[in-house]
Amino acid sequence: MNPNAPVRVRYAPSPTGYLHVGGVRTLLFNYLYARKHGGTLILRIEDTDQARSTPEHERMLLGDVVELGIEAEESPGKGGPHAPYRQSERLPIYGRYVQQLLDSGKAYHCFCPAEMIAEKREAALKLGRTPVYDGTCAHLPQELVSRRLSAGEKAGIRFRAPNRSYLLEDAVRGQVEFKAGTVGDFLITRSPQPHEKEIGTGIGMPVYNFCCVIDDALMGMTHVIRGEDHLSNTARQLMLYEAFGFKLPVFAHTAMVLGSDRQKLSKRNGDSAARDYLEQGYLKEALLNFLTFLGWNPKLEQKESLKPRSGHAEILFMDELIAAFDLTGLQKAPAVFDLDKLKWMNAQYMKLLPAETIASRARPFFEKCDLPEVREGLKGVSEEWFVRMVDLLRVDHGLLSDLPLASKVFFNDEPELSVEARLAVVEGNSVPVVTALKNAIESAAEPVTQEAFEAIQKQIGTQLNVKGKALFIPIRVALTGQVHGPEMKKAVPLLGKSRALSRIRAVEKQLHAV
Ligand code: GLU
Report the CATH number that the domain containing residue 436 is assigned in CATH: 1.10.10.350
| SS3 category, 114 | helix
Q: How many C-beta neighbours within 10 Å does residue 57 have? A: 19
Q: The pTM is what?
A: 0.93
Cβ burial, residue 129 (10 Å; 0-12/13-18/19+): exposed
Kindly state whether residue 173 falls inside one of the protein's structural domains.
no
Whether a cis peptide bond, with omega within 30° of 0, leads into 447 is yes
| Structural domain ending residue among the three candidates 407, 428, 444 | 407
In this structure, the answer to whether residues 347 and 358 fall within a common structural domain is no
Q: What is the distance of C-alpha 22 from the center of its chain?
A: 7
- Do 438 and 474 belong to one domain? yes
Task: Kindly state if the Cβ of 212 falls inside 6 Å of ligand 1.
Answer: yes
Q: Which of 351, 372, 395 is the last residue of a domain?
A: 351
CA 320 to CA 324: how far, in whole Å?
A: 6
Q: How far is the CA of 284 from the centre of ligand 1 (A)?
A: 23
Per residue in 15-42, pLDDT tens? 998 899 999 999 999 999 999 999 999 9
Cα separations (Å) of 452 from 441, 480, 494?
A: 10, 19, 13
Looking at ligand 1, which atom is closest to the CA of residue 11?
Answer: 8
Does 360 map to a domain?
A: yes
Last residue within a domain, chosen from 376, 407, 438? 407
Q: Is the pLDDT of residue 2 over 60?
A: no
Whether residues 377 and 333 share a domain: the answer is: no
Q: Identify the DSSP state of 108.
A: E
Q: Are residues 271 and 336 in the same domain?
A: yes
423 and 495 co-located in one domain: yes
What is the per-residue pLDDT for 514? 65
Residue 328 domain flag: yes
Domain that residue 386 falls in: 354-407
What is the amino acid identity at position 321?
A: L
- Please indicate whether residue 267 is annotated as part of the active site: yes
Asked, for residue 503, whether it belongs to a domain, the answer is yes
Q: How far is the CA of 44 from the centre of ligand 1 (A)?
A: 9
**Ligand 1 in reach of 48 Cβ (< 6 A):** no
What is the 14 CA–ligand 1 centroid distance (Å)? 7
CATH number (domain holding residue 383): 1.10.8
Q: State which amino acid sits at residue 120.
A: K
pLDDT digits (tens, 9 = 90+) for 385-396: 999 999 999 999
- Rounded to an integer, the average pLDDT of 100-126 is 95
Residues 462, 482, single domain; the answer is yes
Query: What is the longest distance spanned by two Cα atoms in the chain?
Result: 108
Q: For residue range 446-463, what is the model confidence (pLDDT) as tens digits?
A: 999 999 999 999 999 999
Asked if residue 432 and residue 502 are part of one domain, the reply reads yes
Tell me which of 8, 19, 20, 230 to substitute to probe ligand 1's pocket, judged by most ligand atoms within 8 Å of the beta carbon: 230
Residue 299, pLDDT above cutoff 90 = no
Tell me: the pLDDT tens digits for 405-443? 999 999 999 999 999 999 999 999 999 999 999 999 999
Q: Whose CA is nearest to atom 6 of ligand 1?
A: 12
Helix, strand or coil for residue 255?
coil
Asked if residue 391 and residue 321 are part of one domain, the reply reads no
Residue 125 pLDDT grade (very low, low, confident, very high; cuts 50, 70, 90): very high
396/444 same-domain check: no
**Does residue 8 lie in a domain region?**
no
- DSSP per residue, 362-410: HHHHHHT-S-HHHHHHHHTS-HHHHHHHHHHHHTT-SSGGGHHHHHGGG
| Nearest of 116, 100, 44 to residue 73 by alpha carbon | 44
Query: Residue 265 pLDDT > 90, yes or no?
Result: no
**What is the CATH classification number for the domain harbouring 284?**
1.10.1160.10
Task: Tell me the CA–centroid distance for residue 115 and ligand 1, in Å.
Answer: 26
Q: Is the CB of 14 under 6 A from ligand 1?
A: yes
Considering its fold, how many domains does the chain have in total? 3
Please compute the mean of the pLDDT values over residues 186-195 and round it to a whole number: 93
Predicted local confidence at residue 266, as pLDDT: 75
Ligand 1 centroid distance, CA of 501 (Å): 62
Residues 438 and 496 in one domain: yes
pLDDT, tens only, 165-175: 999 999 999 99
Atom 2 in ligand 1: which residue has the minimum CA distance? 13
Task: Answer whether residue 381 is part of any domain.
Answer: yes
What does the DSSP assignment read for 135-146?
Answer: -TTTT--HHHHH
Same domain flag for 370 and 453? no
Asked if residue 189 has pLDDT above 70, the reply is yes
Residues composing the chain: 514
Ligand 1 near 457 CB (within 6 A): no
Residue 188 belongs to some domain of the structure: no
Any domain includes 101: no
